C-alpha cells in the first residue's frame, strides 16, 4: 500500500512537471542597440526598428533564419515576361491580429501611405521602382496613381517603371510592410500604441515603455504560429555596450547585437563561442572630392589608397571586428563577383613603393609635401582610423590634418556639397544587391559626396538596371565596379563591417548571415 | 514673504522668455539639421519632412509659432520620436528622473550633513580623516567609473541587485542609480558641512553658549548646525535642479528611462523641439530651486528678511 501511494505521488509529480514544462512560458530577452524612433513601419529606417518590426509584421516576402528570401504575406508571385508587372497571391486565410483578413487593399493603402508627401516617410525610396512613386513623393501626382492594384481581396498587382531585379529584396525592408487600413484610419498616428496596434506578423505588441522595454507576445493568428516557439520577447535598448555585456553575463539578456570591440579578447575567454563575429553587408570608406584639384586625378587617389595599410586598420584599430576592403561591394551577395583594386594581392611594402613612385612622379615628396584634410564624424574609432592613416601617409609626403564634427554637422556639410579634401562615410546595405552600393557613385546621387561623375559608369549602371537576366546583370555590375571603384576610386573602400554580437548558448536557431537579421520566430530556448 | 515669492515668480516670466529666445536662435545656428544622417535623404523626401514639421517656414515665423505654442503648453512633436510629443516624452521620463534624483538628493544631504558634523566634532581624529578620505574619493571618481564598478561588484560578483533595467520601478533596480547619483553629492555636502561646522563651532555665539553651560546636544544641533547649514542650502539648490533632471551616464549605464539622455541625444540629433523642451525644463527647475533656497535662508537664518 505504501508503495502504491509513493508511486502515485511520483506519477503525479512527473505529470505535473511535464505539464509545467509544456506550458512554461518561453521568454526571450533581446538587447537591441537603441530605442526605436517609431513603431510605425513606414516612419522608420534603421536596423534598430527593423529588428522589432520584423517580429510584428509580415511583408509580402520575408527572410528566413539565414536571411534568404521566403514567401511572407504572399504565398506566391509571378513576374510578367517584360519584368515590369509582379502579381502577388496573398496567403489564403491570413488575418490581422484582430481577426480581420489581410487583403490586397491593405497593401495598396499601406504603399500609398508610404509614398505620400504627408507621411514624409524617410524610406519612401524603397518603393521608387513602382510606377509614379517618385512623382507622388515629390507632390506632382496623387497617391491613388501609384502602380499598385488590388485585383481582388487576395491578389495584388504591382507595376514597375523598369526591370528591377532586386525589387523582391527591397520588399524585405520594413518600409514596405502592410498596415491595416481599418486600424490606421481608426487610431491615426496612435495606431502604434500597445492596445491599439493590429499587426500581421508572428508577434503582437503588448507593452512599450520608451527607453525601457518593448514586449511582444506570440500571435495565435499568425499563419505559421505552430512553428513559433518563443512566447514572449522583450527588447531592451542597450545604448551602453559595456553595460549590455554585463547584463548578458548576469543572464538578464539572452542576446545583444553589439559589444565593445576593445573587450573582444577578454570576452572570448569569458563567453567562448557565444561571441559571434562574421561578415556584414556594410562598407567603411573615404571619399575624395573628385571634382576638385588635385583630387580629380585618379592616379593620385590610387597612390593614397595604396599607401593605406588596411590590415593595420582592421587588426590594430578595430581589433579584427572589421575586414580589410579592396572593393566597394562587400562579399556575401549571391552570384556577384567583386572587382578588387589591382593591388589587392600585393604586399603592403610593394604598395608603398608603388605609391611613392606615383607621388614622386606627381611632384610630392616629404620635402615638397601635399596637404590633405580628413573630415570625419566624431567617434573614438573614426579618430583612431584617421590618426593611423595620417601616420601611414606621412613618409610618402602627404601631410594629413583632421577635422571632426558631430554626425549631423558632418553629414549636413557633405550633403550641402561643402568643400573638403577627403571625408569619411559608410554604407550599410538596405537590401542584398550590389546596386545598393554602386549607386553611391552615380552622377548626382544624394550620397555621392565626392561628386564623382563618369558617363561610362552611369551607362553601365543603366544597362544593368535594364537587364533582366541575373547572371548577365551581375556581370555588368562587376564591370561597373571595375571602372568606378577599382580604376577611378570614386570612393576609397577601407574596411568591411562585420556583425559582432553575443548570443547565449541557450538560444537555439541563431544562424549567422551577412544581413545580421535574426527573426524571433526562428529562435527557441 | 508671500509678496517676495510672488515677485520672484513674476520676474521668472521675462527670464524664461529670454532663455527660450536665446536658446532657440543659438540652436539654429548649429550646422546640420534633424534630417542629416549617414544615409542622405533625397531632396523630395527631405522637403516633405521639413514641411511636416514646418521647418520650411522663415525662421522668425517658426520662432513666433513656437512661442505661441509653448504658452499654450504645446512643446511640439519630437523629430526623432515622431510617435511622441515633447510633452509626452517628459511626462513619462521626468517622474522617473525626479524620483531617483530626489531620493539621491535627500540621502546625500542628510548623510552628508551627518558625516560633516561628525568630522567637525572629531577634527583631526580617525573619524575626520575617514570622512575626508571618503569625500575626496567620492568627488574625484567620476560617475562613469562608479556606475560600472557598482555593476561589477554588486550585480555580477555578489548578485545582490540586477545589472540594469528599470524593472517597472522595482526598488532593487533603483539602488545602483541612486547610489551613483548620490555619491558625488554626498562627498561635496560632507566636505562643505565639515568646513562650515568647524567655523561655526569656533564662533563667538557658540563660545557664549558653552560659557552659559548649555548641553552639548543643544550647542551642536540648535546653535552650531543652524548657522553651518547655510552653505549646504546654497549648494543644494542648483544641485537639485541638476539631479532631478536626470543624468545621461547613470541612465544609459543602468538602462533607466528618464530624461537625462535627451540633453545630449536631442542636441546631437538636432531634435530642435526636444532640445527646447529640455532647456525649458532645466530653466524652470533652476528658477524654482533658487526660489526655494531663498525662502529657506529666511526660515533658517532669522537675520534674513525679504519684506
Tens digits of residue pLDDT in A114-155: 999 999 998 998 999 999 999 999 999 999 999 999 999 999
A194/A293 same-domain check: no
How do beta strands A232-237 and A370-377 pair? Answer: unpaired
Q: Domains in chain B: how many in total? A: 1
Give dist(CA B32, CA A410) in Å, integer: 7
Alpha helices in A362-454 (DSSP H): 380-393, 407-415, 434-438
- Is residue A158 within a helix (H) or strand (E), and if so which, with residue range? strand A155-159
Contact (CB<8Å) B38/A209: no
Distance from CA of A406 to the nearest CA of B (A): 7
Residues of B in contact with A249 (CB under 8 A): 156, 163
Contact (CB<8Å) A210/B81: yes
Phi and psi angles of residue B83, each rounded to the nearest 5 degrees, phi first: -80, -15
Q: What is the sign of the dihedral through the CA atoms of A219, A224, A227 and A228?
A: negative
- Is residue A209 within a helix (H) or strand (E), and if so which, with residue range? strand A203-209
Residue A112 lies inside a defined structural domain of this protein: yes
Flag whether residue A38 sits within 8 Å of chain B, measured between CB atoms: yes
Residue B89 lies inside a defined structural domain of this protein: no
**Residue A116 burial (C-beta neighbours within 10 Å; 0-12, 13-18, 19+):** buried
Give dist(CA A136, CA A337) in Å, integer: 36
For the entire predicted model, the pTM comes to 0.89
Contact (CB<8Å) B49/A122: yes
Residues of B in contact with A409 (CB under 8 A): 30-32, 36
Residue B99 lies inside a defined structural domain of this protein: yes
For A46, A106, B257, B260, B266, the CA distances from B251, given in Å and listed in that order, are 23, 40, 7, 7, 15
Residue A245 lies inside a defined structural domain of this protein: no
How is residue A146 written as a grid cell?
501609384
Asked if residues B192 and B235 have their Cβ atoms less than 8 Å apart, the reply is yes
* Residue with more model confidence, B261 or A455: A455
Q: Which whole number is the average pLDDT over A347-365?
A: 94
How is residue B254 written as a grid cell?
543602468
Give dist(CA B205, CA B85) in Å, integer: 56
Q: Give the lowest-confidence range in A133-137, A237-241, A252-256, B92-96.
A: A237-241
Residue A135 lies inside a defined structural domain of this protein: yes
A45/A12 same-domain check: yes
pLDDT of residue A7: 52
CA B210 to mean position of chain CA atoms: 39
Find, in chain B, the residue whose alpha carbon is nearest to that of A241. B253
Q: Name the residue among A69, A45, A38, A87 with its Cα closest to residue A176.
A: A45
The DSSP line for A313-347 is IIIIISTTSEEE-SSSSPS--TT------TTTTS-
Q: Which of B37, B83, B258 is nearest residue A192 as measured by Cβ atoms?
A: B83
A462/A510 same-domain check: no
A352/A216 same-domain check: no
For A89, A218, A222, A225, B247, the CA distances from A24, given in Å and listed in that order, are 37, 14, 20, 17, 39
A50/A171 same-domain check: yes
Phi and psi angles of residue A484, each rounded to the nearest 5 degrees, phi first: -75, -40
Phi and psi angles of residue A88, each rounded to the nearest 5 degrees, phi first: -100, 130
CATH number at B275 reads 1.10.3720.10
Flag whether residue A184 sits within 8 Å of chain B, measured between CB atoms: no
How big is the A-B interface in CB pairs under 8 Å? Answer: 159
Residues of B in contact with A414 (CB under 8 A): 40
A207/A313 same-domain check: no
pLDDT of residue B307: 62
What parts of chain B have a pLDDT lower than 70? 307
At residue A473, the 3 state secondary structure works out as helix
Flag whether residue B89 sits within 8 Å of chain A, measured between CB atoms: yes
pLDDT of residue A23: 61
Q: Which residues span the domain enclosing A187?
A: 5-236+504-522
Q: Domains in chain A: how many in total? A: 2
A449/A518 same-domain check: no
Flag whether residue B151 sits within 8 Å of chain A, measured between CB atoms: yes
Residue A432 lies inside a defined structural domain of this protein: yes
Write down how long chain A is.
525
Percent of chain A whose pLDDT exceeds 90: 80
Packed helices A380-393 and A298-307: angle between N→C axes, nearest 10 degrees: 110
Asked if residues A484 and A179 have their Cβ atoms less than 8 Å apart, the reply is no
What part of A 12-31 touches B (C-beta under 8 Å)?
none
Distance from CA of B40 to the nearest CA of A (A): 6
Give dist(CA A413, CA A286) in Å, integer: 15
How is residue A306 written as a grid cell?
595604396
Residue B66 lies inside a defined structural domain of this protein: no
How do beta strands A422-428 and A255-256 pair? Answer: unpaired
Interface predicted TM-score (ipTM) of this complex, two decimals? 0.88
Contact (CB<8Å) A40/B270: no
Provide CB contacts within 8 A for B230, sequence distance 6+. B196, B297, B300, B301
Q: Which of A38, A122, A407 is nearest residue B268 as measured by Cβ atoms?
A: A407
If one counts every other C-beta atom within 10 angstroms of the C-beta of residue A471, the result is 8
pLDDT at A305 over 70: yes
Residue A441 lies inside a defined structural domain of this protein: yes
Extract the runs of DSSP E, i.e. beta strands, from B185-282.
none
A31/A178 same-domain check: yes
pLDDT at A44 over 90: no
Asked if residues A402 and A373 have their Cβ atoms less than 8 Å apart, the reply is yes
A115/A222 same-domain check: yes
- Is residue A31 within a helix (H) or strand (E), and if so which, with residue range? strand A27-32
Give dist(CA A326, CA A493) in Å, integer: 6
In chain B, what are the helix, strand and coil shares in percent, each to the nearest 5?
75, 0, 25
Q: Which of B33, B83, B93 is nearest residue A38 as measured by Cβ atoms?
A: B83
Q: What angle do CA A262, A266, A269 make, to 5 degrees?
A: 145
How is residue A75 written as a grid cell?
504565398
pLDDT of residue A24: 80
If one counts every other C-beta atom within 10 angstroms of the C-beta of residue A273, the result is 8
The DSSP line for A231-272 is SEEEEEE--SHHHHHHHHHTTS-SEES---GGGHHHHHHHHG
Residue B64 lies inside a defined structural domain of this protein: no
A284/A190 same-domain check: no
Tens digits of residue pLDDT in A481-501: 999 999 999 999 999 999 999
Cis peptide bond N-terminal to A294, omega within 30: yes
Tens digits of residue pLDDT in B240-277: 988 998 888 999 999 999 999 898 889 888 999 999 99
If one counts every other C-beta atom within 10 angstroms of the C-beta of residue B260, the result is 25
Residue B166 lies inside a defined structural domain of this protein: yes
Give dist(CA B76, CA B67) in Å, integer: 11
At residue A399, the 3 state secondary structure works out as strand
Contact (CB<8Å) A211/B35: no
Residue B50 lies inside a defined structural domain of this protein: no
The DSSP line for B25-52 is HHHHHSSS-TT--SSPPPHHHHHHHHHH
Q: Which residues span the domain enclosing B159?
A: 94-300
- Is residue A426 within a helix (H) or strand (E), and if so which, with residue range? strand A422-428
CATH number at A73 reads 3.40.190.10
What part of B 258-277 touches A (C-beta under 8 Å)?
258, 261, 268-270
Q: Which of A122, A211, A427 is nearest residue B261 as measured by Cβ atoms?
A: A211
Residue B305 lies inside a defined structural domain of this protein: no
Q: Give the lowest-confidence range in A162-171, A212-221, B212-221, B285-294.
A: B212-221
Q: Name the residue among B243, B247, B254, B257 with its Cα closest to residue B147.
A: B254
A134/A36 same-domain check: yes
Residue B13 lies inside a defined structural domain of this protein: no
Residue A146 lies inside a defined structural domain of this protein: yes
Tens digits of residue pLDDT in A75-99: 999 999 988 999 999 999 999 999 9
Give dist(CA B301, CA B114) in Å, integer: 20
A219/A318 same-domain check: no
Amino acid at each position: 500500500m505504501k508503495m502504491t501511494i509513493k508511486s502515485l505521488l511520483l506519477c503525479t509529480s512527473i505529470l505535473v512537471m511535464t505539464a509545467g514544462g509544456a506550458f512554461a512560458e518561453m521568454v526571450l530577452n533581446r538587447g537591441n542597440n537603441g530605442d526605436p524612433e517609431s513603431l510605425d513601419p513606414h516612419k522608420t529606417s534603421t536596423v534598430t526598428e527593423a529588428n522589432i518590426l520584423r517580429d510584428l509584421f509580415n511583408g509580402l516576402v520575408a527572410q528566413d533564419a539565414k536571411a534568404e528570401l521566403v514567401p511572407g504575406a504572399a504565398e506566391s508571385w509571378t513576374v510578367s515576361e517584360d519584368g515590369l508587372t509582379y502579381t502577388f497571391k496573398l496567403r489564403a486565410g491570413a488575418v490581422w491580429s484582430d481577426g480581420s483578413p489581410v487583403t490586397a487593399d491593405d497593401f495598396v493603402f499601406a504603399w500609398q501611405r508610404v509614398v505620400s508627401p504627408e507621411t514624409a516617410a524617410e524610406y519612401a525610396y524603397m518603393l521608387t521602382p513602382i510606377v509614379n512613386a517618385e512623382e507622388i513623393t515629390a507632390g506632382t501626382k496623387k497617391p491613388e496613381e501609384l502602380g499598385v492594384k488590388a485585383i481582388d481581396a487576395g491578389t495584388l498587382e504591382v507595376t514597375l517603371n523598369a526591370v528591377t531585379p532586386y525589387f523582391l529584396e527591397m520588399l524585405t525592408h520594413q518600409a514596405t510592410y502592410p498596415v491595416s487600413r481599418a486600424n490606421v484610419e481608426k487610431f491615426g498616428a496612435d495606431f502604434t500604441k500597445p492596445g491599439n496596434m493590429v499587426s500581421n506578423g508572428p508577434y503582437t505588441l503588448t507593452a512599450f515603455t520608451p527607453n525601457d522595454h518593448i514586449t511582444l507576445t506570440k500571435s495565435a493568428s499568425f499563419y505559421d504560429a505552430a512553428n513559433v516557439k518563443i512566447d514572449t520577447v522583450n527588447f531592451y535598448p542597450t545604448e551602453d555596450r559595456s553595460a549590455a555585456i554585463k547584463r548578458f553575463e548576469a543572464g538578464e539578456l539572452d542576446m545583444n547585437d553589439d559589444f565593445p570591440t576593445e573587450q573582444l579578447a577578454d570576452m572570448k575567454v569569458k563567453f567562448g563561442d557565444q561571441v559571434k563575429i562574421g561578415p556584414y553587408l556594410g562598407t567603411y570608406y573615404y571619399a575624395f572630392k573628385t571634382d576638385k584639384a588635385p583630387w580629380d586625378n585618379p592616379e593620385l587617389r590610387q597612390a593614397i589608397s595604396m599607401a593605406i595599410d588596411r590590415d593595420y586598420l582592421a587588426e590594430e584599430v578595430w581589433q579584427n571586428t572589421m575586414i580589410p576592403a579592396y572593393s566597394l561591394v562587400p562579399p556575401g551577395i549571391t552570384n556577384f563577383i567583386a572587382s578588387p583594386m589591382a593591388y589587392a594581392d600585393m604586399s603592403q611594402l610593394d604598395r608603398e613603393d608603388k605609391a611613392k613612385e606615383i607621388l614622386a612622379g606627381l611632384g610630392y615628396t616629404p620635402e615638397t609635401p601635399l596637404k590633405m584634410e580628413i573630415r570625419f564624424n566624431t567617434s573614438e574609432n573614426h579618430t583612431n582610423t584617421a590618426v593611423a592613416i595620417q601616420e601611414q601617409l606621412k613618409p610618402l609626403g602627404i601631410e594629413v590634418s583632421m577635422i571632426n564634427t558631430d554626425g549631423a554637422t558632418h553629414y549636413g556639410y557633405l550633403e550641402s556639397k561643402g568643400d573638403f579634401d577627403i571625408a569619411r562615410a559608410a554604407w550599410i546595405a538596405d537590401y542584398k544587391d550590389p546596386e545598393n552600393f554602386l549607386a553611391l557613385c552615380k552622377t548626382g546621387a544624394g550620397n555621392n559626396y565626392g561628386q564623382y561623375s563618369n558617363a561610362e559608369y552611369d551607362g553601365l549602371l543603366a544597362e544593368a538596371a535594364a537587364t533582366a537576366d541575373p547572371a548577365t546583370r551581375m556581370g555588368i555590375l562587376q564591370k561597373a565596379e571595375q571602372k568606378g571603384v577599382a580604376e577611378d576610386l570614386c570612393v576609397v573602400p577601407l574596411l568591411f563591417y562585420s556583425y559582432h554580437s553575443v548570443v547565449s548558448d541557450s538560444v537555439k536557431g541563431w544562424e549567422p548571415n551577412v544581413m545580421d537579421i535574426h527573426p524571433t520566430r526562428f529562435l527557441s530556448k | 514673504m508671500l509678496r517676495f515669492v510672488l515677485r520672484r515668480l513674476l520676474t521668472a516670466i521675462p527670464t524664461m522668455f529670454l532663455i527660450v529666445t536665446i536658446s532657440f536662435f543659438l540652436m539654429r545656428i548649429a550646422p546640420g539639421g534633424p534630417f542629416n544622417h549617414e544615409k542622405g535623404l533625397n531632396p523630395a523626401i527631405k522637403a516633405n519632412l521639413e514641411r511636416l514639421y514646418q521647418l520650411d517656414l522663415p525662421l522668425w515665423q517658426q520662432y513666433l509659432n513656437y512661442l505661441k505654442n509653448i504658452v499654450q503648453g504645446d512643446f511640439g512633436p519630437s523629430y526623432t520620436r515622431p510617435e511622441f510629443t515633447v510633452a509626452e516624452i517628459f511626462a513619462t521620463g521626468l517622474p522617473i528622473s525626479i524620483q531617483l534624483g530626489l531620493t539621491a538628493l535627500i540621502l546625500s544631504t542628510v548623510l552628508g550633513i551627518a558625516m560633516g558634523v561628525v568630522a567637525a566634532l572629531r577634527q583631526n581624529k580617525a573619524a575626520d580623516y575617514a570622512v575626508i578620505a571618503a569625500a575626496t574619493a567620492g568627488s574625484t571618481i567620476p560617475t562613469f567609473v562608479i556606475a560600472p564598478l557598482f555593476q561589477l561588484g554588486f550585480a555580477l560578483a555578489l548578485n545582490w541587485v540586477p545589472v540594469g533595467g528599470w524593472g517597472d520601478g522595482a526598488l532593487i533596480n533603483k539602488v545602483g542609480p541612486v547610489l551613483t547619483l548620490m555619491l558625488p553629492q554626498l562627498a561635496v555636502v560632507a566636505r562643505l558641512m565639515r568646513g562650515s561646522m568647524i567655523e561655526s563651532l569656533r564662533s563667538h555665539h557658540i563660545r557664549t553658549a558653552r560659557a552659559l553651560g548649555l548641553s552639548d546636544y543643544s550647542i551642536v544641533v540648535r546653535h552650531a548646525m543652524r548657522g553651518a547649514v547655510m552653505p549646504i542650502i546654497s549648494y543644494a539648490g542648483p544641485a537639485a535642479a541638476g539631479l532631478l533632471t536626470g543624468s545621461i551616464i547613470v541612465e544609459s549605464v543602468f538602462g533607466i528611462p528618464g530624461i537625462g539622455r535627451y540633453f545630449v541625444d536631442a542636441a546631437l540629433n538636432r531634435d530642435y523641439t526636444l532640445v527646447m523642451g529640455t532647456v525649458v525644463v532645466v530653466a524652470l527647475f533652476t528658477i524654482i530651486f533658487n526660489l526655494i533656497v531663498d525662502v529657506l535662508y529666511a526660515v533658517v537664518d532669522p537675520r534674513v528678511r525679504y519684506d
